[in-house]
């Protein structure tokens, strides 16, 4: 005889299946109608989960519940791979707390649209056509529509492989510097994940300052951060098509070109501005100055580790750093900012207008007008966020404009470089930066992806009339 299931157990099973079915229907509905909205919902849910975990007494060294605004700020900073902190990562958080932060960095580094696509695949076992189009667009149309699930697996596998390689390079160096085996292994893993995901969190009390001339540590961090800033679509193309420039697609060409230009220009300008500054690199050897300038050029693009006190920078250097942070890295990458392809498209449009060309062309390809509209929208939206947040923080703190603007752009660009203002802010100021970090990580990417599929067919066309411009 078949043993009958108790009624309470049957009710529990029925309730569980009902909950899963409801969740699946909800994810299906949102994913098919608005994948961008699903991305927002997923990111908010992930942030709230990690806020709860960081609020646990076991996550802090004093065994007390971390104040909500500090736990929330840290969770947002980690999930949005920013690196701004209001409490010391090394001193305030236990191993559990640091592990939670590291997990948040890894998950957040995958990107909003990747997370949304993964959720849809896990819950409903499939992606709608619209969801596939959004995910494919986020990965620069790499692969065919039916291969999106495979591409998502490649994204995660690539991240893990690169981070493991970085950890294996960093681990022996920390071991040689006198750290115990478990400590060296943990620091190697932490820095590997933090650097590739352009997060900027550090498990050391003094950050990277004690290693300011150690090439074995600084160079892998720069390489990891630069690779992460290129974006998964670019890394996938480089892996599949090798180093032959002519075999790359246009997105890869523009991303690599502009990234290298910003790297070189950033190194030269930052180094020249700080060359004689005794408070930063003025007293160092020529090689150490070059190393610092190169490191700063990579860090300001979104990584966020620092070797010098940002408050000691020359005013001109701070303004130049603002510009580099606002530029950011590649699309669908772990970096923030308005993205290098956005800069490339707008610059090419300006050049075409100056030449009197009707089309915007580069590398034998024409940039569609829709892409230019999206680029302009991203820049205007980013500048609006920065201006609004800067005004709020100036009103809340009364601090100097250079410090406020630096902190605000660092938050929006998910960079993590700081003048120390974040820790000094009142709770409402911290919430302003949280909103800015969220907008910087989710807003521009989601807007670009949403607008890319929002072209409507119009049945009529109004007469054209050109207003006076300029």
pLDDT in tens, 15-33: 455 545 554 554 455 445 5
Average pLDDT of the chain is 83
Confidence at 145, pLDDT banded by 50, 70, 90: very low
Instruction: Answer whether residue 391 shows pLDDT above 90.
Output: yes
Q: Please state the φ and ψ torsions of residue 25, each to the nearest 5 degrees.
A: -65, -40
Between CA 264 and CA 92 the distance in angstroms is 37
| Mean pLDDT value across residues 59-83 | 93
**Is residue 108 within 8 Å of residue 121, measured between CB atoms?**
no
Q: What is the pLDDT of residues 298-314, one digit of tens each?
A: 999 888 899 999 999 99
Q: What is the pLDDT of residues 97-125, one digit of tens each?
A: 999 999 999 988 877 656 655 555 544 44
Confidence at 449, pLDDT banded by 50, 70, 90: low
% pLDDT > 90, the chain: 55
59: tokens are: 């996550």
| Predicted local confidence at residue 22, as pLDDT | 57
| Predicted local confidence at residue 226, as pLDDT | 93
Q: What is the pLDDT of residues 235-246, one digit of tens each?
A: 888 888 877 888
| Mean pLDDT value across residues 170-194 | 94
Q: What is the pLDDT of residues 249-294, one digit of tens each?
A: 898 999 999 999 999 999 999 999 999 999 999 999 999 999 999 9
Confidence at 184, pLDDT banded by 50, 70, 90: very high
| Predicted local confidence at residue 151, as pLDDT | 64
Instruction: Answer whether residue 141 shows pLDDT above 50.
Output: no
Instruction: Answer whether residue 183 shows pLDDT above 50.
Output: yes
Largest distance between two CA atoms of the chain: 89
Is the C-alpha dihedral spanning 401, 402, 404, 409 positive or negative? positive
In DSSP terms, 365 is beta-bridged to: 362
Instruction: Answer whether residue 185 shows pLDDT above 70.
Output: yes
Q: What is the pLDDT of residues 312-324, one digit of tens each?
A: 999 999 999 999 9
| Mean pLDDT value across residues 39-48 | 82
| Predicted local confidence at residue 6, as pLDDT | 56
| Predicted local confidence at residue 253, as pLDDT | 93
| Predicted local confidence at residue 114, as pLDDT | 63
Instruction: Answer whether residue 161 shows pLDDT above 60.
Output: yes
| Predicted local confidence at residue 157, as pLDDT | 83
| Predicted local confidence at residue 150, as pLDDT | 61
**Greater pLDDT, 205 or 29:** 205
Between CA 430 and CA 423 the distance in angstroms is 8
Q: What is the pLDDT of residues 206-227, one digit of tens each?
A: 889 899 999 999 999 999 999 9
| Predicted local confidence at residue 8, as pLDDT | 46
Confidence at 331, pLDDT banded by 50, 70, 90: confident
| Residue closest to 309 by CA, chosen among 269, 274, 343 | 274
% pLDDT > 70, the chain: 79
Rg (CA), the chain: 23
**Greater pLDDT, 135 or 269:** 269
248: tokens are: 């790359």
Instruction: Answer whether residue 419 shows pLDDT above 60.
Output: yes
Confidence at 144, pLDDT banded by 50, 70, 90: very low
Q: What is the pLDDT of residues 337-384, one digit of tens each?
A: 899 999 999 999 999 988 988 889 998 999 998 888 888 888 998 999
| Mean pLDDT value across residues 111-140 | 53
């Amino acid at each position: 005889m078949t043993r009958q299931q108790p009624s309470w157990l049957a009710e529990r099973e029925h309730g569980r299946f009902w909950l899963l079915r409801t969740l699946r229907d909800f994810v299906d509905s949102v994913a098919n109608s608005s994948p961008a909205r699903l991305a927002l919902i997923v990111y908010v849910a992930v942030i709230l989960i990690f806020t709860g975990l960081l609020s646990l007494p076991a996550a802090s060294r004093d065994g007390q519940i971390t104040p909500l605004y500090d736990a929330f700020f840290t969770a947002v900073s980690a999930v949005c791979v920013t690196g701004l902190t209001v409490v010391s990562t090394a001193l305030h958080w236990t191993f559990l707390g640091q592990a939670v932060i590291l997990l948040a960095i890894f998950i957040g580094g995958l990107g909003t649209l990747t997370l949304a696509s993964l959720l849809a695949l896990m819950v409903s076992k499939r992606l709608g056509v619209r969801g596939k189009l959004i995910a494919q667009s986020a990965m620069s149309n790499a692969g065919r529509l039916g291969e999106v699930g495979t591409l998502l697996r490649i994204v995660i596998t690539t991240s893990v492989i690169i981070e493991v390689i970085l950890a294996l390079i960093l681990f022996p160096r920390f071991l040689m510097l006198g750290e115990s085996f478990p400590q060296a292994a943990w620091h190697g893993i932490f820095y590997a994940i933090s650097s590739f995901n352009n997060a900027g969190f550090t498990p050391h009390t003094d950050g990277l300052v004690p290693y300011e001339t150690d090439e074995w540590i600084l160079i892998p961090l720069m390489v990891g951060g630069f690779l992460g800033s290129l974006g998964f679509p670019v890394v996938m193309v480089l892996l599949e098509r090798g180093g032959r420039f002519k075999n790359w697609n246009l997105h890869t060409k523009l991303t690599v070109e502009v990234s290298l230009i910003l790297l070189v220009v950033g190194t030269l300008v930052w180094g020249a501005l700080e060359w004689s500054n005794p408070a930063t690199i003025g007293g160092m050897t020529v090689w150490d100055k070059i190393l610092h300038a190169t490191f700063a050029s990579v860090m300001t693009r979104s990584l966020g580790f620092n070797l010098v006190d940002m408050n000691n920078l020359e005013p001109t250097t701070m303004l130049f750093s603002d510009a580099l942070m606002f530029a950011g890295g590649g699309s669908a990458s772990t970096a923030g900012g308005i993205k290098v392809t956005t800069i490339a498209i707008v610059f090419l449009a300006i050049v075409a207008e100056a030449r009197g060309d009707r089309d915007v062309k580069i590398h034998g390809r024409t940039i569609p007008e829709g892409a230019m509209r999206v680029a302009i929208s991203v820049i205007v939206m980013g500048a609006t966020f920065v201006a609004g947040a800067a005004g709020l923080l100036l009103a809340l703190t009364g601090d100097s404009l250079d410090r406020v603007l630096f902190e605000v752009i660092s938050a929006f660009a998910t960079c993590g470089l700081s003048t120390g203002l974040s820790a000094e802010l009142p709770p409402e100021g911290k919430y302003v930066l949280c909103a800015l970090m969220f907008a910087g990580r989710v807003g521009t990417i989601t807007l670009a992806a949403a607008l890319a599929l929002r072209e409507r067919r119009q049945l009529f066309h109004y007469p054209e009339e050109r207003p006076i411009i300029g």
